[in-house]
Amino acid sequence: DAKTTQPPSMDCAEGRAANLPCNHSTISGNEYVYWYRQIHSQGPQYIIHGLKNNETNEMASLIITEDRKSSTLILPHATLRDTAVYYCIVRASNTNAGKSTFGDGTTLTVKP
């Protein structure tokens, strides 16, 4: 799986959009981008994933650049409960689902 690079920490004001970047410059054509988050004292929680088109669900939006070398997770209206560590993972469609490679993620702090 391709390696990902994320900033170690970010702050966001409550009610504003949180934009979390991820660099995956060595991504291959069959590799998807996944985002998970881990709230303190809990296990990681799936947020969203995509291949090349932008994706949106009830939790977030995922914007993938045209060259697929980077992506941004957008939380449109951050709340205090969105404070967590956010992990960007790249995984091929033919890779065993259980073998996810996590980096150290981005710690997002939402402030009142």
Partner 1 sequence: ETGVTQSPTHLIKTRGQQVTLRCSSQSGHNTVSWYQQALGQGPQFIFQYYREEENGRGNFPPRFSGLQFPNYSSELNVNALELDDSALYLCASSPGLAGLNIQYFGAGTRLSVL
Q: What is the binding site for partner 1 (CB under 8 A)?
A: 32, 41-46, 49, 85, 87, 91-105
Residue closer to partner 1, measured from CB, 61 or 100: 100
Q: Is 103 exposed, middle or buried (0-12, 13-18, 19+ CB in 10 A)?
A: middle
Residue closer to partner 1, measured from CB, 81 or 97: 97
Angle at 51 between CA 48 and CA 55, to 5 degrees: 45
Task: Give the nearest distance from C-beta 28 to partner 1 in angstroms.
Answer: 12
Residue closer to partner 1, measured from CB, 14 or 32: 32
